Structure 1
């Protein structure tokens, strides 16, 4: 993994929205200790027509560990996504992804889990995992498990992670994560189609012009990515965040047997 490409994309400081979101989620969590604002933000299948809950449920976290692990998991991929797409653009994508994921969760939940509620930014995490998992699979179709001769399709790596988390972490929402992952796959495979439901670039630039006094207050140690600088977004080739490696088989491929030795990776 090329960590520098994630923490400092393009050699630039951390992205502005990503950094601000981490601080904002923490602030909301602390505020909730004083005023119980999260009660009005969690999402249940009965909230399908409540746009406030559909938009805001990723901001609510039920415990410090819930907040901590979501922030740690989200910051890397979101930082990279923002550097490639623009700051305001990324904010719009997060909001649309939350609403679409929430609608899918509510529609399915009416029958499968009518009383279950969800909250937290882990949906955004899986949307980013799905997006980058699909993009990465075009360059590295198979992911090699470190320290073994096993590999599996890279595009399935977020799904494997989802299953493992659902097994070993109690209380997580499998379906909330699953629908968020599907949204990430869709954005990664049909990015131009997804962009048709977003505000056009000229509107985003107008928003940035109106917000210029606020943008000027952003400290120099974070990077605000302007829409006008993202003109090559549709033609820019995806750069892998993984170290280049040779293609690997999808199963244990024994090496030629040597006299007096044993095949590596076997018992």
Structure 2
């Protein structure tokens, strides 16, 4: 009989404790908001993206809708999918960049585009919420990196462009999973392609400003698991804790993937 990998709580606990700072904040926000919606269901109605209600007084929905979920299963499946993707993103770009993008443009841009398409193209009012918009955004960004080294993959006699993988997954998900927004996922994937292609890198604050904030607030020393934006100087995970043992007498090991 085939052997299946057994669930190891110790490994899961170790993985959770190693998550970088911004990833932890976003995970806690997703879980915390789901818990809050149990006694206060109006929170879900307050933050979900409902195109017909959008005006200047409802802009908070563009920031909140990726953090809110319909039910526990919706939340847990999205969380399992998006957590390693955000962790990888933060490890590459730093904590400040991750917080700036995921609390801002990575929600407002696909949300705003979805609203416009729903109102003026589809002429519908489909309500959406959930971190799946981030899942397909980050998948699209990751697959563009893979496409550079492996442009195609084979399915029988056919060669499929690697960059189309998220689009195929979006279509399959829309067919198999009920109440899934095809347009919403496409908006997220589109932003991911633009990010990976370098067209919207201007959304990130200048590196000099980010380094100044890090130094001024001493974020490397104050925040556990903080990822420095200046990886050339501080390394991927900032300055490691020091001890009384001289560095030359102990072997070093690089942290992170």
Question: The TM-score by the shorter chain falls in which range?
Answer: 0.7 to 0.9
Question: In the alignment, is the contact (CA less than 8 A) between 2:144 and 2:196 conserved in 1?
Answer: yes
Q: Do the aligned partners of 1:85 and 1:230 also contact (CA within 8 Å) in 2?
A: no
In structure 2, runs of 5+ residues without a counterpart are: 1-11, 235-256
Deviation at 1:23, TM superposition (A): 2.4
Q: CA deviation at 1:21?
A: 1.7
Quick one: structure 1 residues 215 and 122, their matched pair in 2 at CA, closer, same or farther if it must change by over 3 Å? Answer: farther
Runs of 4+ in 1 over 6 A off after TM superposition: none
The aligned counterpart of 1:26 is: 31
Report the more deviating stretch, 198-207 or 178-187: 198-207
| Paired residue secondary structure (1:227) | coil
Query: Aligned to 2:124, what secondary structure does the other structure show?
Result: coil
Deviations 1:39-79 (A, max 9, x none): 11111223154321111111111111110111111112221
1:6-85 equivalence runs, <5 A: 13-35=18-40, 36-46=42-52, 47=54, 49=56, 50-85=58-93
Task: Give the whole-Å Cα distance in 2 for the aligned partners of 1:230 and 1:65.
Answer: 40
1:136 corresponds in structure 2 to: 146
Which blocks of at least 5 consecutive residues in structure 1 are unaligned? 1-6, 233-240, 242-267
**How far apart in 2 are the matches of 1:163 and 1:136?**
21
Q: Give matches, 1:75-224, under 5 Å.
A: 75-94=83-102, 95-111=104-120, 112-144=122-154, 151-190=159-198, 193-209=199-215, 211-212=217-218, 216-218=222-224, 223-224=225-226
RMSD: 2.7
Bigger helix share: 2
SS at match of 1:152: strand
Q: How many residues align?
A: 216
CA–CA separation in structure 2 for the residues paired with 1:163 and 1:25? 25
User: In structure 1, how many angstroms separate the alpha carbons of the residues matched to 2:161 and 2:90?
Assistant: 26
* Inter-partner Cα distance in structure 1 for 2:146 and 2:195: 14
Alpha carbons of structure 1 residues 143 and 172: separation in structure 2 relative to 1, 3 Å:
same
Aligned with 1:143: secondary structure?
A: strand
Q: Per-residue deviation at 1:198?
A: 2.8
**Greater RCO (Cα-Cα under 8 Å, separation 6 or more):** 1
CA separation in 2, counterparts of 1:114 and 1:71? Answer: 28
Task: Specify whether residues 72 and 143 from structure 1 end up closer, same or farther in structure 2 by C-alpha distance, changes over 3 A only.
Answer: farther
